[in-house]
A = this chain, B = another copy of it.
Amino acid sequence: MEMSNEQIHDIASAAWNGYQYLQKLTVRERADLMYAIAEEIEALDEELINAAHRETALPLARLQGEKGRTVHQWRSYADALRTGVYADVRIDTGDGAAKSDIRKYNKGLGPVAVFGASNFPFAFSTAGGDTASAIAAGCSVVYKEHPAHPETSRIMEHAIKRGVAKFGAPDTVFDCVKGSSNSVGETLVLNPLIKAVAFTGSFRGGKALFDLGASRSEPVPVFAEMGSVNPILALPDYLNQHGETLAAQYVASLTLGVGQFCTNPGLFIAVKGSALTLLKEGLKKAISEIGESSMLHAGICKAFQENKTILSKQPDVELLGKGVNTQEDKAGAAIYLTSGAAFLANQHLREEVFGPVGLVVECSDTDEVYAVLASVPGQLTITFAATVVDIQQNSSLLTLAQEKCGRLLFGGMPTGVEVVYAMQHGGPFPATTDSRFTSVGPDAVKRFLRPVSFQNWPNQLLPQELQDDNPLKIARIVNTVYTPE
């Protein structure tokens, strides 16, 4: 079903009313609303899991886990909201004369357009982190359904709406626009009542929305998380000590979920030598054991096959090893090999192949590792497969890596984005369109907030967040001093 422009306009207008309703709720009340929605999502049964499994080919266990994660997002963002951390209250009481009484808190931006991701049908789609953080901010949500999983969306939509109704909020706080053509999303983003946009997906899709948001007569912020190649830097001392386990660990991360994660480590950078030679053998063996798998949808699989072919045909790129692949419509894992010099000379090698394909870049020395890292654009993550000695001997690599990404790992693999306060799921362009924000963890709420100051208002007319006796018991900065509830 393609919605008409009028239908989209009507939904955006209704969302304005939903936003006005949410603005009148305190942070505590919004947290309660979020709990009501979380409860409805939690109560969903096999119908949801089976629909998502049918529509995305993701395994049942993964979907069960993702459902739990989604519920956790709603509850943990609500818990954070309750503390007042996103109201971010500052009160300066002045001196009753020249210095005014000024009080500031954060309010929502307005209705937010959320675009679902195909690779997280629960955690980054209808009821995902973008929707949860917008509602936390007091923004109503108009969700643009992802065409790859309409039935999953429908079940989630109804769960949200049941939660909204049980809390007693109007149904205008959340609604969906539907249609598979780009024009549905474009019409939504250009609607003057939409005040922010959140997107998770491809660079092409995210950048198009960013440009659209900036082109409006009233520009709006567009937070697009567009993935990256998430380099692994395997440094010499670590490689000598842990090369064998690293190979297995890398292949497991590369092929997890058929390589369909924004944090999939598509790039493996190391210095050549006997340790790397051994590791390459390990990679070859490990990847050969990976079976072929269905991807999220036919379009993604087709793009994967095409991009893999393009990569394989680049000069100075050879196949290091590959997994099973007998069927055209399934993805076969593969690892390619190139040199640092070839990588530096060919910008195609810096592009993400969405799926289970890695590229090992064999560098002549750590200076070339530096040059290779310097040549890649902004990333979500960079992982140091390194010992303390490696870092101490290559501190300039750590300095450079901080400029390039949102999350730095010491050991481990970047897949697995934990939903905690300290998570930064973001990074410099083109990983996202605004490196100042995250789309995972409670801090994701910040994207949709703006401060408003009240100067010299009588106490009884102030929002509760700003009143003298702190009725909501939230943390505030009062006369420059942090004041817990």
Contacts and interface: CB of A to CB of B under 8 A. Distances in A.
A399 B90 contact: no
A80 interface: yes
Contacts of A433: 219
A399 B403 CA distance: 42
Interface string A235-255: 000000000000000000000
A388 to B, nearest CB: 6
B107 A402 contact: yes
Contact of A79 (B407, B436, B443, B480): B480
A479 to B, nearest CB: 8
A208 interface: no
B90 A407 contact: no
A100 interface: yes
B461 A422 contact: no
A411 B107 CA distance: 22
User: Secondary structure of the A side of the interface?
Assistant: mixed
Interface in A402-446: 402-403, 405-412, 418, 420-424, 426, 428-430, 433-436, 438, 443
A454 B408 contact: yes
A214 B399 CA distance: 27
Give the most central of A83, A405, A424: most B CB within 10 Å.
A424
A74 to B, nearest CB: 16
Contacts of A341: none
Interface in A389-410: 391, 398-399, 402-403, 405-410
A183 to B, nearest CB: 22
A103 B104 CA distance: 28
A456 B411 contact: yes
A324 interface: no
A23 to B, nearest CB: 8
A405 B450 CA distance: 10
A3 interface: no
A85 interface: yes
A7 interface: no
Interface residues on chain A, size class? 35 or more
A480 to B, nearest CB: 6
A339 B422 CA distance: 54
A412 to B, nearest CB: 6
A99 interface: yes
A460 interface: yes
A457 B410 contact: yes
Nearest to A396: B20
Contacts of A107: 402
A452 to B, nearest CB: 6
Nearest to A425: B453
A453 B406 contact: yes
A475 interface: yes
Interface of A: 20, 23, 79-80, 83, 85, 90-92, 99-100, 102-104, 107, 109-110, 210-211, 214, 218-219, 221, 377-378, 388, 391, 398-399, 402-403, 405-412, 418, 420-424, 426, 428-430, 433-436, 438, 443, 449-458, 460-461, 475, 477, 480, 482, 484
10 contacts: A83-B482, A85-B482, A90-B420, A109-B435, A406-B451, A408-B457, A410-B454, A410-B457, A412-B455, A428-B450
